[in-house]
Amino acid sequence: MATSFIDKARITVRAGNGGNGVVAFHREKYVAAGGPDGGDGGKGGSIILQVDDNMSTLMDFRYKRKYVAPNGMDGQGARKSGKDGQDLIIRVPRGTLVRDAETNAIIKDMSDKEPFVLCKGGRGGWGNMHFATPTRQVPRFAKAGLPGESHDVVLELKLLADVGLIGFPNVGKSTLLSVVSKAQPKIANYHFTTLFPNLGVVWVDEGVSFVMADIPGIIEGASEGAGLGHDFLRHIDRCRLLVHVVDVSGSEGRDPVADFDAINEELKQYSPALAERPQIVAANKVDIMEDPENLERLRAHVEALGYSLYEISAAAHQGTRQLVGKVAEMLSVLPPVTVYEPEYVPQPVAVDTSAPLDIQRADDGHTWLVEGPWLQRLMGNINFSDYESRMYFDKTLRESGLFRRLEEMGIQDGDTVSMYDFEFEYQR
């Protein structure tokens, strides 16, 4: 495979942590007991994916595999909040599938212009100004920021093309693409000249155009990994229409009927849905055809299967206009390019609750401060506006033995339990 074309990459992404809240008190001349004024920590930067139409490969991810967004800044006195961490924007080619590295489930199909938040930055911690109450006028505690989300993902490029050119190596696919579009693929009279997909825009008429993709030639066994075609079959997954190019010249001693059936069998083995995709057969190199019987046998075979056959010579620009016109006609009634729906369902975060939590009783005697690494990780993955998520949070805390330990330490009904930026009133 050519090193200039990379269509699959695994990366690790991590959003920034939230900044810590600060403990501070108002200090001003002639103002006694100014009260708490510690500011909040800033939000951590998020990881955002953005489509870039100037990119055609995943080459940028070949050597850089880890992306980390900046953390939020800590709060300051005088009720000053810390600066939010800047979002990290990762640009990807249009048509990139984002998959979970463990389950291979699709997280997002980057086929539109809308940015996608892959990992959210951690919330900033509260400063002590939030914890002042009529009975707790001098809170000497603040909350730490929460960690940002992290993820291992696989980026997989599936080209967004209306039409895919398929066929054996050296049958004239690249030549056809160069004739009907302004694409300039490498062309030579030997196998596997094309080492990576080429895209070209075909202009048919005013306001009528489509994108055509030329992929490396497919051979027998491609669906099982033979040859170059296996690596690039994914790039015709989205194609609305396939143009099957068959060499009928007999210059290499090949049987066009056998070639046609062999390619379709490989498509079937790779994806039954792809094998049923609409096809047009382009019988190429008719200008140097040695035996017209080859063409007639192919025509009878493909028409019996319901396919249209067009006689062309890409090199001589013969019949290409008629072929392009038929392609445009079929595309006008076919469904749009496939956009994959997300399959990924976030799993509840797995935390080891065996480590003891740090529990402190505040000076007011009625506030209990609870902190710990696993609790911080847990809270970073809980949506407190969602009932089921809150129930999972409560269940995890009970199973950890936290409530039992609080009761042993003397907590009473109505006391406040404070965990980072979350507080609740304790009831047995």
All structural domains of the chain, each given as residue ranges with its CATH number in brackets, are 1-158 (2.70.210.12), 163-331 (3.40.50.300), 351-428 (3.30.300.350)
Q: Is 331 helix (H, G, I), strand (E, B) or coil?
A: helix
Most confident of 249-253, 308-312, 341-345, 363-367: 308-312
Taking each helix axis from N to C terminus, what angle separates 292-304 and 256-270, rounded to the nearest 10 degrees?
40
CB count in 10 Å sphere of residue 277: 17
H or E segment to which residue 266 belongs: helix 256-270
Which residue in 213, 211, 216, 212 sits closest to 232, CA to CA?
A: 216
Band (pLDDT 50/70/90 cuts) for residue 192 is very low
Residue range 204-218: mean pLDDT, rounded: 82
Using alpha carbons, list the distances in angstroms from residue 42 to 4, 49, 82, 85, 100: 40, 22, 4, 7, 28
Contact between 142 and 16 under an 8 Å Cβ cutoff? The reply is no
- pLDDT higher than threshold 90 for residue 127: no
User: How many percent of the chain have pLDDT more than 70?
Assistant: 89
Residue range 263-280: mean pLDDT, rounded: 89
Band (pLDDT 50/70/90 cuts) for residue 187 is very low
**For position 3, what pLDDT does the model report?**
45
- pLDDT higher than threshold 80 for residue 108: yes
Q: How far apart are CA 67 and CA 155, in angstroms?
A: 13
Ordered strands of the 208-214 beta sheet: 198-205, 208-214, 163-166, 241-247, 279-284, 308-311
**DSSP letter string, 293-306:** HHHHHHHHHHHHTT
Q: Which of 33-37, 84-88, 118-122, 270-274 has the lowest mean pLDDT?
A: 33-37
Band (pLDDT 50/70/90 cuts) for residue 31 is low
Residue 192 CA neighbour count, 13 Å, CB half? 10
Residue range 414-422: mean pLDDT, rounded: 83
H or E segment to which residue 320 belongs: helix 320-331
Exposure string of 225-254, with b = 16+ CB inside 10 Å and e = fewer, is: eebbbbbbbbbbbbbbbbbbbbbbbbeeeb
Give residue 357's Cα distance to chain centre: 36
| pLDDT tens, residue by residue, 249-267 | 987 778 999 999 998 988 8
Using alpha carbons, list the distances in angstroms from residue 108 to 115, 325, 339: 11, 34, 10
Higher pLDDT, 56 or 121: 121
**For position 327, what pLDDT does the model report?**
95
**For position 349, what pLDDT does the model report?**
58
**For position 298, what pLDDT does the model report?**
95
Contact between 187 and 137 under an 8 Å Cβ cutoff? The reply is no
**For position 222, what pLDDT does the model report?**
45
Band (pLDDT 50/70/90 cuts) for residue 1 is very low
Structure token pair of residue 47: 């990881």
Residue range 147-169: mean pLDDT, rounded: 89
> Nearest 5°: phi and psi at 240?
-80, -25
**For position 13, what pLDDT does the model report?**
96
pTM: 0.70
| pLDDT tens, residue by residue, 321-359 | 999 999 999 999 998 887 888 887 776 656 677 788 888
Contact between 382 and 351 under an 8 Å Cβ cutoff? The reply is no
Q: Which residue bears the tokens 């797995």?
A: 350
